[in-house]
Amino acid sequence: MAQTSEPKLISGNANMPLAKAIARRMSLHRGVNVGLVDARVERFNDSEVFVEVFENVRGEDMFIIQPTSNPANDNLMELLVMADALRRSSAARVTAVLPYFGYARQDRRTKARTPITAKLVANMMVGTGIERILTMDLHAAQIQGFFDIPVDNLYASPVFALDIKNEFKDRMGELMVVSPDVGGVARARELAKRINSPLAIVDKRREKPGEIAEMTVIGDVSGKICLIVDDICDTAGTLCKAAEVLLENGAKEVHSYISHGVMSGPAVERVSNSVMKSLVITDSIQPTTAVKQAPNIRIVPTAPIFAQAILNIWNGTSVSSLFDAESLEPIYDGMYNSL
C-alpha cells in the first residue's frame, strides 16, 4: 500500500470528544493540522443509520474512531455503515479504532443455547471491509483470536501506573493492588509489577447472576492503601461491595482504577455514596454529565496513547513499544510532569 501524506480520521457519534482529542494530539505530534474527515452520520425517521462522507478518501489510510458503547447496537451499526461507505469510496485501508469493544463480555458459552456474540460482532466487522482493529483492554484476551485480521490491544495499565506514581508519589510503599475477582488477576498483576506493589484478591461467590453471596479477601490488606483494578465498571455493585470488604479487613483507604466506565443504572450514585476515596476511569466511553460531576470520580485521557498508536500503525512501527514507561511518559508529558 502506498503511504499517503497523513492518516485520516473519521468518527461516528459514540464519542466525538475523544475523536477530536485524538486529532488534536496527532496534530501536535505531526506538526500539521490533522482533523476529522467531514461527514454526516445521521438517522432516518425509522432510526436507520445513514452515512455520507464529504471528502475524497480514495487511496487513503482511514481510521474510524467509534467505541461500541451504550447504545451498543446503534454505535455498532454506525461503525459498520461507515466502514462500508469508506470501502465503497476506495479507501486504501480501513482501521476500526474501538476504545471500548462492546459485546466483549459475551466471549464464551456460559450455558446451553447461548450465543458467543463477541465472535458474531467480529465476523460482522471483518465482513464489512475493516482490515485492522485498534482497541483497549479487551475484556478477554482471546477475543483477538475471533478476528481474522490484525488486532492491536492497548492497555490502560501503563497510563494508570503513571497516574498512580503521580497521585501517590509520597505513599508508594503503602500501596496494594487488588483484583476484584479471580478472573482479573492477570490484569491486576500487570499493574502491580509496574508500580512494584504487592497483590491481593477479592474472591466472590454468586448464588445467582447479579447477586453476590459472599466475598473473601485473599491477602493481608491491613494498613494498606488498596487500589482495585478492573476493566469494566457497569452498575458498580461489585466494586462498592469489594471496597467495603477491604476496609472491614483493615485497609486504610480504597481507590479504584477501571479501564472502561460503563456506569449504567445506579452506578454513579453508588460510587458517590461509597466508601471509596476515588474511582479513576478512562474516557474510552464518553462520560455522562453525572459522571463528570461526581465528586470522587476522576477521568484519565486516552487520546495521547491512541494518537501515538494510530501514527505507529500508519508508519508501520511498533505499537507494543507504547507499553513501556520510557515510550509512554513523553506522550503524557505535561500531565505527569512531576514524575
Q: Give the cell for residue 55.
A: 471528502
Distance CA 160, CA 146 (A): 27
Instruction: Specify whether 204 is catalytic.
Output: yes
Distance CA 202, CA 182 (A): 7
Which residue in the list 204, 241, 252, 277 is annotated as catalytic? 204
The three-class DSSP label of residue 138 is: coil
28-34 contacts: CB < 8 A, separation 24 or more?
A: 29/307, 29/308, 29/311, 30/6, 30/311, 32/6, 34/6, 34/7, 34/9
Percent of residues in the chain assigned helix, strand, coil, to nearest 5: 35, 25, 40
Distance CA 244, CA 214 (A): 12
The three-class DSSP label of residue 180 is: coil
Taking phi first (over 0 means left), then psi (-120 to 50 degrees means alpha), and beta for anything else, what does residue 113 get?
A: left
Measured between alpha carbons, how far is residue 184 from residues 137, 146, 194 in Å? 12, 20, 16
Candidates 287, 330, 281; CA nearest to 308 is: 330
Residues known to be catalytic: 204
